Amino acid sequence: MDIHSEKIVILDFGSQTTQLIARRIREQKVYSEIHPFSTSLTKIKALNPTGIILSGSPCSVYDPDAPLCDAGVFNLGIPVLGICYGAQLMIQQLGGKVEKAEKREFGKADLAILSTEGLFAGLETGEIRHQVWMSHGDRVEVIPEGFVTTAISAHSPFAALRHAEKPFVAVQFHPEVAHTLIGNDVLRNFIFGICNCSPSWTMHSFIEAAVESIRARVGKDRVICALSGGVDSSVVAAIVHRAIGDQLTCIYVNNGLMRTGESESILRFFRETSKLHVIDVDAADFFLDELQGVVDPEVKRKRIGLGFIKIFEDEAGRIGEVKYLAQGTLYPDVIESVSFRGEAPIKSHHNVGGLPEIMKLALIEPLRELFKDEVRELGLELGLPEEAIYRQPFPGPGLGIRIMGEVTAERLRIVRQADVIVLEEMKKSGWYRKVWQSFAVLLPIQTVGVMGDGRTYENVIALRAVDSRDAMTADWSRLPYEILGLISSRIINEVRGVNRVVYDISSKPPATIEWE
């Protein structure tokens, strides 16, 4: 059941900022979703989009193996916006010409608007120059019949175009990035002025539609929910419980990869503050056995995912006839687990890439379309307390992917003790709520140190703290030196087996937030 009456579909050609397009549109209270450029015309029609956006790409449209969408999208009678590569693709597929530019444009550029029809409604023309962000080495040289130029820049004589009769518009710059100061205006003009959408996609409307969808699908059947205590699974449990009440049973699995005291506090919280029926399973020994000798992070994630499914299916068998498993898959999980042009995905998420094809339980994933900040907004709308909503994200595979190399009881002890110190100091300093995530990682190396005038050869802990809105992109947090120094000193002095602490200052991309 499609719960979205209006929808902007984004065809992804491999740009690093494609997800930003979706976010900018959702910020206008209009639903949007991303699909691969290779999506068939039949499926695009079935999605029933109100508008289509063609994203940027690191490729050139004239390359022999350039990613191409079905040109039939221009025959659907639906508004289409091309951005950067997407603009060049539109022009080429409709009869124009794109070539390598003599002078490339990367970074800030000044845009002169020639016409305020369409995308530039309400913006100033004439001598006014608008800052936009360019990122291209090709440019449009010949425009197709029916197109007119609506903006230019120093090196792009066709920086923006529109069709005189059809709802096709194209921009050479990136309206989705913050450096394009008129970006929100351009996207608003597309979704409201050209696509005629209404700003009706809110968390309240999402709840109503999702509850109706869950009820219609489940009927009188039973559902189990994988409850981890994190934001995602807590919100899933709340919305599924609102839909079907006592037909839901929540299962908390202690996989032995949780932080100190985490399992006890999670179970106490849900049993004392909610009406959810929660059963707990201690599977610490099972998961340690499954991970024995495993070093490859993809194998780790998939073994953990398979282990969870085995336990859920066993517990479902004990409960009775259960047909569905509800879990907290988010949109970034889905995006990162999908490959582009047959290449390897960024990583397999334990609840996406780790699921076996033979799993007997059908999945219910009500958050599959949402980014993390949208999930938090949804949780507040559902009435969950702030302490459940504003916890820092914790990965499904737990500390298993914060230990580089083999997971053992001793290495779990080290990273657990270090993690306690990180969280204590972040909370005491007031920085816990200021950052997206902060945690410790145990590295697979040892280094020489000196303790008590004696030589040591012990482990290294890496600290990671990042700022983000949705986990799709992130920047390293500029924590005060005093906090870093205190955390480092405490870990080295209090955690046996560690003699060095380092701080990770890489952003996403090119790195990911978690180390595995």
Could you list the active site residues? Answer: 84, 174, 176
CA atoms of 184 and 178, how far apart (whole Å): 9
> What residues contact residue 241 under an 8 Å CB cut-off, 6+ apart?
248, 275, 276
The bridge status of strand 97-113 relative to strand 147-152 is: antiparallel
Edge-to-edge strand list for the sheet holding 147-152:
32-36, 8-12, 51-54, 80-83, 168-171, 160-163, 147-152, 97-113, 130-142
Which bin fits 471, alpha (ψ -120 to 50), beta or left (φ > 0)?
Answer: left
Query: Among residues 471, 512, 507, 487, which one has the least CA distance to residue 331?
Result: 471
User: Encoding tokens for residue 226?
Assistant: 């994988």
CA atoms of 508 and 471, how far apart (whole Å): 9
Which bin fits 344, alpha (ψ -120 to 50), beta or left (φ > 0)?
Answer: beta
CA atoms of 256 and 181, how far apart (whole Å): 48
CA atoms of 469 and 22, how far apart (whole Å): 13
Query: Among residues 209, 129, 205, 174, which one has the least CA distance to residue 24?
Result: 174
- DSSP 8-state secondary structure symbol assigned to residue 194: I
Q: Do residues 10 and 35 lie in contact, with contact meaning Cβ atoms separated by under 8 Å?
A: yes
E strand map for 230-277: 248-254
Helices 297-319 and 284-291 cross at an angle (nearest 10°) of: 150
SS3 263: helix
Half-sphere CA count of 456, side-chain side, radius 13 A = 15
- DSSP 8-state secondary structure symbol assigned to residue 340: S
Query: Among residues 188, 169, 198, which one has the least CA distance to residue 6?
Result: 198
CB atoms within 10 A of CB 439: 25
